[in-house]
Amino acid sequence: MALRTMISGRAVRSGAAMGARSISSWWRNVEPAPKDPILGVTEAFLADPSPNKVNVGVGAYRDDDGKPVVLECVREAERRIAGNLNMEYLPMGGSMNMVEETLKLAYGENSELIKDKRIAAIQALSGTGACRIFADFQRRFRPESQIYIPVPTWSNHHNIWRDAQVPQRTFHYYHPESKGLDFASMMDDIKNAPNGSFFLLHACAHNPTGVDPSEEQWREISYQFKAKGHFAFFDMAYQGFASGDPEKDAKSIRIFLEDGHLIGCSQSYAKNMGLYGQRVGCLSVVCEDEKQAVAVKSQLQQLARPMYSNPPVHGALIVSIILSDPDLKKLWLKEVKVLLLLINFTTGYC
């Protein structure tokens, strides 16, 4: 006899009455996903029994013995956290202190935008999470839009906007023959894109090429964006790794702000603090005024809620402690310069 179960006032038949489909057939049509071009290398590395192997997949710091490197400023921050950390949820928007300190790195210590509360910002799951939240935000509120992505770019950019169902176009960036920026073709693509297009820009230390526009070229790019009414979304995963100076590496963003652009920005501490597994980042959107910023932030939080509810606390505390303490921040800036000497621009997490 078939069983009956009451669910929300309705009788649901189970057992043979559910039909002929076998339970084992539900996922019969699922094929293995293709290997990730970055993480697949790490999987192969871990599976290889050879003692003489090198992981050239995810870019991460290693010492001379191939062991992971943890920055001293991070170690000190963890010492201060030890025994003092509770396990309470953070708000949906994350650690306010971490977000405030992070905005200063991108927009400037004395930014008028910060003072006027014109920036909607939330803590995100590193740069990947920040990009994904923005892609979903773009899809929800500008459903007719598409995103222009440079060739080449970090491979996960394509996955992020694809899964957010935002149509993608590409624009010229790298010139393989000269191993430099294909500036003329890039400018042509910017000029020829429909007015009001969305563009993904690497703020500094372009991944995977390491090739960045000069300051003068950034000014020309900003001018053309203004003329065309384009929106710039900056992915800044490597702040400090282009020049060794995080302030200098934010120049592209500052130029756009000087020209009055309303931009979006993704920031990550995976690389410049070595907090890979902590997944600490920030998403920010510059708005017309404080009222608009409040509305935008509420929608960013609304998008985060069904994804992961609220971000993790430990990494956010590490960042907050380092950036809020003058001595630790000074140590971090010193360590960033050392890391710049070691960095190898492989594709990886951001």
The token pair at 75 is: 């170690």
The token pair at 262 is: 């309303």
Return the DSSP state at 68.
Answer: B
Taking Cα atoms as reference points, which of 319, 244, 255 lies closest to residue 281? 319
Tell me the C-alpha distance between 268 and 128, whole Å: 8
Tell me the C-alpha distance between 337 and 350, whole Å: 19
Question: Is residue 27 annotated as part of the catalytic site, yes or no?
Answer: no
Query: Angle 63-239-196 (CA atoms, 0-180°, nearest 5)?
Result: 145
Question: Is residue 117 annotated as part of the catalytic site, yes or no?
Answer: no
Answer whether 145's CB lies under 8 Å from 338's CB: no
> Of these residues, 212, 271, 297, 332, which one is catalytic?
271
Radius of gyration of the chain (CA): 23
The Cα-based distances of 75 to 78, 79, 281, 309, 313 in angstroms read 5, 6, 19, 28, 16
Residue with tokens 């997490």: 349
Local structure of 209: helix, strand or coil: coil
Question: Is residue 235 annotated as part of the catalytic site, yes or no?
Answer: yes
> Of these residues, 154, 161, 218, 332, which one is catalytic?
154
Residue with tokens 């960036």: 173
Tell me the C-alpha distance between 317 and 324, whole Å: 10
> Of these residues, 136, 189, 235, 249, which one is catalytic?
235
B/e letters for 319-335, b = 16+ CB within 10 Å, e = fewer, are: bbbbbebeebeebbbeb
Local structure of 160: helix, strand or coil: helix
Task: Give the containing element (helix H, strand E) for 187.
Answer: helix 183-192
Any idea which residues carry the catalytic annotation?
A: 154, 235, 271
